[in-house]
Amino acid sequence: MGKITGFLGNVRHELVKVTWPSKKDTYASTFVVIAFVLLIAVFLWGVDTLLSTLVRTLLSR
């Protein structure tokens, strides 16, 4: 039980040192991540469509 208490005390001590982002920073980072994910999704959709069309064209000959 002493090890658990010591561990939780250390965790609490380390959490005091953490610099938490502001709400504005969190929203900005979230926006960047969502935009990047959407950009990659559109890119992969385009590549998939192009390759699917190419394969269908080659196999239909």
Q: Residue 61: is its pLDDT beyond 90?
A: no
Centroid of chain to Cα 14: 25
Burial state string for 45-57 with b = 16 or more CB within 10 A and e = fewer than 16: eeeeeeeeeeeee
The span from the CA of 35 to the CA of 41, in Å, is 10
Structure confidence by residue, pLDDT tens digits, 3-60? 999 999 999 999 999 999 999 999 999 999 999 999 999 999 999 999 999 999 999 9
